[in-house]
Structures are given as C-alpha cells and as structure tokens.
C-alpha cells in the first residue's frame, strides 16, 4: 500500500490502481481499517489489457525483477480528487465514482507523472509542476475550475524539472523547487502580477532590464546542490529542507529563517551564507511533514535508498552512497538543531540487484501527520513494506528529550 495523505481526518492510500480510505474507529488514535473505494483509470487503455498491464502477471513479474516502484499520485480536497498515472492527469468530481482525463503531461514524464510534492491548492486555483526526464521544458500548470481544465501558467526555463509546488501556511506564498544540476537547483517564490527582473524569472546570470506584469518565479537561491530540494517543511520561524543529492559527501539539513526572508527584496538572490546547516542526513532527503503537539512544532524528514547513479552529476560524482531509508525527526524545542533517527529501512532485495546493467527500484518512506501523530509508510522495503504505521507524538517527543 502507498500512502498519499490525509483528507477530512482520514488517511487515503492506493495499491496499483485501487484507492483506499481509512475507516476510523471511534475513540481510537490508531490506524483504522482501509476500505477500497474503486479503481483509477488508464486513459490510453481499456478492458482486459488495461487490467492485465497494471494488475496482471506481467506487472507482478516486473515487480519481482526490479522491486516495487510508485506509479500513481493522488491528491484529495473538498472539491476534487486529482491523480497522475504516467503522463496523464485525471480528475474526479463525484466522489471518485468516475474519472476524466484533463491534461496530458510531457511524454518523458516518469511513472508517477510528477512528484507527489508538485501539486497544491492556492485559494481558488490548483497548481501542478511538470517532471519531464527528457529535453522537454517543464511548465507550471494552473486550473481555476477545480481541475476540470488546465493551462500553462509559465515555463520554468533552465531547469530539468519541477520538484515541488507548495503553499506556505504562514505567509500564503507558493514555493517552487527545481533540479537537478547546480544551476538548475532553485528555491523560488511564485509571484503574481508583481514586477521583477528577467534575471529572477529565468535564472540567467546576465543582468536584464525587462520586467514582468504576469506570473514569474522569484529565485530565492540557486547555484549549488545546497539549493536542491524535493520538499520543504514550513514552521513558524523558518523554512527547512534536506538536500536531494545522490552523490554529495553529506546531505545537509538546512534552515532558512523567516527573518532573512522578510528582509529580502523580490528578485534578490540569497547566497549560501543565508542558510544554516542544522543536521546531516544519511542520503537524499525526499519528503517532509510537520505537525504540532503540546505547544511544540515537529518536523519529519525522510531519505530514500536510491539505486543507480545520478545522470546529472559530473564524472565520478554520480556514485550512490545511500544505505537506508531513514525517518529523521526534530522539534522547535531545539530550534530544529537536534535530529534523531526514528526509523530506518533497508531496500527490499530484487533479482535485478545481481544483474549487471539492470537498475532495481529504490526504497522510499511516505509520511503524513495529524493530531494522532506521525504516520510512516515504508515502500519497497525489506521490513514493513506497504504498511501504514502510527508513531505517537509522545514517542517522538521522548526520543528528542
């Protein structure tokens, strides 16, 4: 099972194309029973072939060879459920009884279409960031009718793809992160109707005199792997992230204080001195989760057991040093300067691990949080693969004492 998030107080997840919703037990803080809601479609396939491709023997055989890999994303809110399957974005407005293909993503998009972090609601609009793996230009997409139709809001020039599109709950800003090379690794703020330099929008090193009246990306920082992030954790006093770099000697956990952001002018790029290293992760940091408990804020960051090499690295920098997928936690009590490992997971062994030239699937951990605590979902791991586990806030607090 793959955990996607929490909506209306209930966890929701999927296995292959089948969607599940948690049925909570009154008075219990534990993980409830997951009940199947129905299946996602594949807009390009129908009938028997569609079922066999995603749930039949060829799919299971591929999983045995390389391991399980995520193939869908699902985002729920009160107005719509969105999902991506490869390069298709689909939407449901009737409680997931029927689905409509609403947008075709770039042909080079990965199995999930986009990253799980690349979709958010910003008021009356929905935003989604493309994740092409080829030469296609990534775009930021927008819908103003609850996902029924989509258009390109802007081209994200000079980057490989978009990692995340996230709404800051403290400022209502929309953050966009990109990768993967040093010059492509950027933390940006989406600006609407404000004027900024062409430099801020396109990431060029050349000074520009042109200005924008429409939406543009205000690059907060770029130029090294320290600005390469998949997900961001928003706290009252800072924005935190872990580096997403397969070949780095160390993947730093970093904090950018809100005071620094408040003093920054639109279009001004911060240098690395503006971000503080507050910890070190065992590997590339993928996902983040925040929650409150007993007057403190908590952050969980998770790494992945990545396989293969990073094609954007220079020379021997592509070497993979990742060992386990870890869940790291910290709290505002330490100013997020003390990080402890809550759980670690080895990647699930696959036949491809012993076959030269065949890349096996990576191991991941998906996380979500609410008043019950932190939910941990190891995926393609040797232990607890596919389970959704609850970790109480009290347990996390005790670990950090």
Specify the pTM. Answer: 0.92
3-class SS shares of the chain: helix, strand, coil, % to 5: 15, 40, 45
Q: Mean pLDDT over residues 37-63, rounded?
A: 59
Q: Confidence class of residue 194 from pLDDT cuts 50, 70 and 90? A: low
Q: List the structure tokens of 371.
A: 């008043």
pLDDT at 199 over 50: no
Let me know: does 273 contact 290? Beta carbons within 8 Å: no
- Report how far apart, in Å, the C-alpha atoms of 379 and of each of 53, 347, 354 are: 21, 9, 21
Kindly report, residue by residue over 106-146, the tens digit of the pLDDT: 999 988 999 999 999 999 999 999 999 989 999 999 999 99
Q: What pLDDT is attached to residue 167? A: 99
pLDDT at 63 over 90: no
Mode of pairing for the β-strands spanning 364-370 and 373-379: antiparallel
Q: Confidence class of residue 320 from pLDDT cuts 50, 70 and 90? A: low
Give the lowest-confidence range in 61-75, 181-195, 322-336, 373-387: 61-75
Q: In terms of DSSP H, where are the helices of 191-255?
A: 198-202
Q: Is 391 exposed, middle or buried (0-12, 13-18, 19+ CB in 10 A)?
A: buried
φ, ψ of residue 357 in degrees (nearest 5): 80, 0
Q: What pLDDT is attached to residue 172? A: 98
Q: What pLDDT is attached to residue 54? A: 44
- pLDDT above 90 covers a percentage of the chain that reads 75
Q: 57-66 vs 47-55: helix axis angle to the nearest 10?
A: 20
Q: 227 Cβ partners below 8 Å, 6+ apart?
A: 185, 186, 187, 221
Q: What pLDDT is attached to residue 304? A: 95
C-alpha 366/C-alpha 16 separation (Å) is 16
Let me know: does 269 contact 277? Beta carbons within 8 Å: no
Kindly report, residue by residue over 347-364, the tens digit of the pLDDT: 999 888 888 877 889 999
| CATH number, domain containing residue 364 | 2.120.10.30
pLDDT at 162 over 60: yes
Q: Confidence class of residue 57 from pLDDT cuts 50, 70 and 90? A: very low
Q: What pLDDT is attached to residue 49? A: 40
pLDDT at 197 over 90: no
Residue showing tokens 């081209």: 155
Q: Confidence class of residue 201 from pLDDT cuts 50, 70 and 90? A: very low
Q: List the structure tokens of 310.
A: 């990073």
C-alpha 352/C-alpha 354 separation (Å) is 5
pLDDT at 302 over 50: yes
Average pLDDT of every residue of the chain: 90
Q: What pLDDT is attached to residue 319? A: 58
pLDDT at 323 over 70: yes
C-alpha 41/C-alpha 31 separation (Å) is 27
Q: In terms of DSSP H, where are the helices of 203-313?
A: 258-263
The number of folded domains in the chain is: 1
Kindly report, residue by residue over 227-247, the tens digit of the pLDDT: 999 999 999 999 999 999 988
Q: What pLDDT is attached to residue 66? A: 87
Q: What pLDDT is attached to residue 317? A: 58
Residue 126: domain span: 2-400
Q: What pLDDT is attached to residue 209? A: 38
Q: Mean pLDDT over residues 259-265, rounded?
A: 98
């Amino acid at each position: 099972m793959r955990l996607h998030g929490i909506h209306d107080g209930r966890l929701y997840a999927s296995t292959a194309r089948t969607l599940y919703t948690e049925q909570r037990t009154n008075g219990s803080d534990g993980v409830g029973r997951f009940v199947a809601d129905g299946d996602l479609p594949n807009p390009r396939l129908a009938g028997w072939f569609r079922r066999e491709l995603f749930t039949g023997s060829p799919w299971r055989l591929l999983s045995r060879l390389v391991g399980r890999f995520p193939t869908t994303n699902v985002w729920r809110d009160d107005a719509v459920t969105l999902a991506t399957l490869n390069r298709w974005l689909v939407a449901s407005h009737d409680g997931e009884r029927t689905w409509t293909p609403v947008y075709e993503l770039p042909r080079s998009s990965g199995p999930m279409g986009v990253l799980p972090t690349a979709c958010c609601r910003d008021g009356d609009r929905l935003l989604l960031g493309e994740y092409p793996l080829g030469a296609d230009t990534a775009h930021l997409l927008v819908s103003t009718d609850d996902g029924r139709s989509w258009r390109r809001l802007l081209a994200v020039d000079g980057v490989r793809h978009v990692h995340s599109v996230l709404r800051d709950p403290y400022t209502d800003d929309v953050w966009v992160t990109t990768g993967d090379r040093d010059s492509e690794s950027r933390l940006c703020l989406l600006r609407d109707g404000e004027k900024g330099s062409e430099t801020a929008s396109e990431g060029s090193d050349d000074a520009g005199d042109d200005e924008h009246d429409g939406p543009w990306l205000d690059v907060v920082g770029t130029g090294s792997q320290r600005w390469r992030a998949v997900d961001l954790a928003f706290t009252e006093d800072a924005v935190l992230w872990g580096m997403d770099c397969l070949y780095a000697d160390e993947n730093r956990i970093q904090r950018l204080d809100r005071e620094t952001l408040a003093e920054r002018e639109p279009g001004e790029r911060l240098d690395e001195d503006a971000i503080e290293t507050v910890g070190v992760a065992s590997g590339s940091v993928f996902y983040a989760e925040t929650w409150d408990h007993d007057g403190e804020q908590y952050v969980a960051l998770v790494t992945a057991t990545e396989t293969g090499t990073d094609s954007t690295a220079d020379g021997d920098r592509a070497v993979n040093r990742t060992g386990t997928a870890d869940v790291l936690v910290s709290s505002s009590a330490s100013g997020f300067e003390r990080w402890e490992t809550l759980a670690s997971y080895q990647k699930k062994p696959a036949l491809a691990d012993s076959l030269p030239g065949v890349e096996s699937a990576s191991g991941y951990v998906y996380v979500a949080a609410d008043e019950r605590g932190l939910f941990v979902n190891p995926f393609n791991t040797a232990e607890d693969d596919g389970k959704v586990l609850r970790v109480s806030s009290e347990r996390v607090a005790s670990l950090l004492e």
